[in-house]
């Protein structure tokens, strides 16, 4: 069993003294390569904080995040930025596409920033899988929300990252597009053998995962114990 991600004794505290908030408190967390995990919990439970720490966006107060054998907070900020671009694909609620670039340009942007050449056949295949091949020269504004999120998924998987992190990926979509987008997200990570971690409020989205992790007051409660 190959662990692609390990979070060890993760803590994130804001403030000091009586007003201190323990957003994340001693979380241990491990994900196998190829697994699809959902992270659920009420508003304020600490899901986004955990996601940002796992994604190398925000250092924990203490503890360690190991991705594919690399302890990411032992890297310098520049090394971590590079690691993030290569090894972590992000999908956000707000799509975060560059409005002046067309679909194809948006998808290859992170690869170009990394000084690499895009694998054209591979990206064409991803576009076909996601049903947006005929939109490849369109600007994001000409697409529906569901189509924009499919572009964001294509961008996230195009660089063959170790992990795809999706933060409320269906938060801006109606229920039909949500279902389509989640099916496609799951299909693309399976097809390209990637690991997927989704933070969501949506129980239907959470149920698609191989395993659900519930965060309560900054700690993980075993999902099996709740169901």
Ligand X SMILES: Nc1ncnc2c1ncn2[C@@H]1O[C@H](COP(=O)(O)OP(=O)(O)OP(=O)(O)O)[C@@H](O)[C@H]1O
Q: Which of 4, 5, 10, 23 binds ligand X (CB under 6 A)?
A: 23
Q: Report the residue number, 14 or 112, with the smaller CB distance to ligand X.
A: 14
| 40: contact with ligand X by CB under 6 A | no
Whose tokens are 């900054």? That residue is 218
Of 142 and 226, which has the nearer Cβ to ligand X?
A: 226
Residue 111 vs 198, nearer CB to ligand X: 198
State the nearest-atom distance from the C-beta of 27 to ligand X, in Å. Answer: 12
Q: Which is nearer to ligand X, 60 or 110 (CB)?
A: 60
> Could you tell me the smallest distance in angstroms from the CB atom of residue 169 to ligand X?
14
Min dist CB 34 to ligand X, Å, is: 25
CA 176 vs CA 182, 187, 208: distances in Å:
10, 17, 15
Interface size with ligand X, residues (CB under 6 A) = 11
- Write down the least CB distance from residue 46 to ligand X, Å: 4
- φ/ψ of 225, rounded to 5, equals -70, -20
Task: Indicate the residue among 21 and 81 with the shorter CB distance to ligand X.
Answer: 21
By C-alpha distance, which of 198, 132, 163 is closest to 3?
Answer: 163
Cα gap 142→138, rounded to integer Å: 6
- Phi, psi dihedrals of residue 20, rounded to the nearest 5°: -65, 135
Tell me the C-alpha to C-alpha distance, in Å, between residue 149 and each of 92, 141, 189.
8, 12, 15
Which 3 state secondary structure label does DSSP give 191?
helix
User: By the 8 A CB rule, do 113 and 188 touch?
Assistant: no
Site string for ligand X, 42-81 (x = CB under 6 A): -xxxxxxx--------------------------------
Look-up of token digits 């191989």: 210
Q: How far is the CB of 214 from ligand X (least distance, A)?
A: 11
| Binding test (CB under 6 A) with ligand X, winner from 3, 6, 13, 21 | 21
Looking at residue 134, the DSSP 8-state letter turns out to be: G
Report the nearest approach of ligand X to the CB of residue 154 (Å). 25
Rg (CA), the chain: 17
- Reduced to 3 states (helix: H, G, I; strand: E, B; else coil), residue 123 is helix
For ligand X, the closer of residues 52 and 135 by Cβ is 52
Question: Residue 43 or 78: which CB sits closer to ligand X?
Answer: 43
Question: Which residue in the block uniquely carries the two structure tokens 């671009």?
Answer: 85
The site for ligand X (CB under 6 A) is made up of: 14, 21, 23, 41, 43-49
């Amino acid at each position: 069993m190959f662990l692609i991600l390990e979070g060890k004794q993760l803590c994130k505290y804001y403030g000091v003294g009586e007003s201190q908030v323990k957003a994340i408190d001693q979380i241990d967390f491990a994900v196998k390569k190829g697994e699809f995990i959902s992270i659920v919990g009420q508003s304020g439970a600490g899901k986004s904080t955990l996601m940002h720490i796992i994604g190398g966006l925000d250092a924990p107060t203490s503890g360690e995040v190991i991705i594919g054998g690399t302890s990411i907070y032992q890297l310098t900020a520049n090394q971590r930025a590079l690691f993030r671009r290569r090894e972590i694909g992000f999908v956000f609620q707000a799509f975060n596409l560059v409005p002046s670039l067309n679909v194809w340009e948006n998808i290859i942007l992170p690869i170009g920033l990394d000084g690499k050449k895009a694998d054209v056949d591979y990206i064409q295949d991803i576009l076909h899988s996601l049903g947006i091949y005929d939109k490849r020269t369109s600007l994001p504004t000409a697409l529906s929300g569901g189509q924009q999120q499919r572009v964001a998924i294509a961008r996230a998987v195009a660089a063959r990252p170790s992990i795809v992190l999706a933060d409320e990926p269906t938060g801006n979509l109606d229920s039909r597009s949500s279902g389509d987008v989640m099916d496609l997200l799951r299909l693309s990570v399976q097809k390209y053998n990637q690991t997927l971690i989704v933070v969501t409020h949506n129980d239907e989205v959470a149920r698609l995962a191989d395993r659900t992790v519930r965060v309560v007051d900054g700690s993980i409660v075993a999902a099996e114990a709740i169901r």
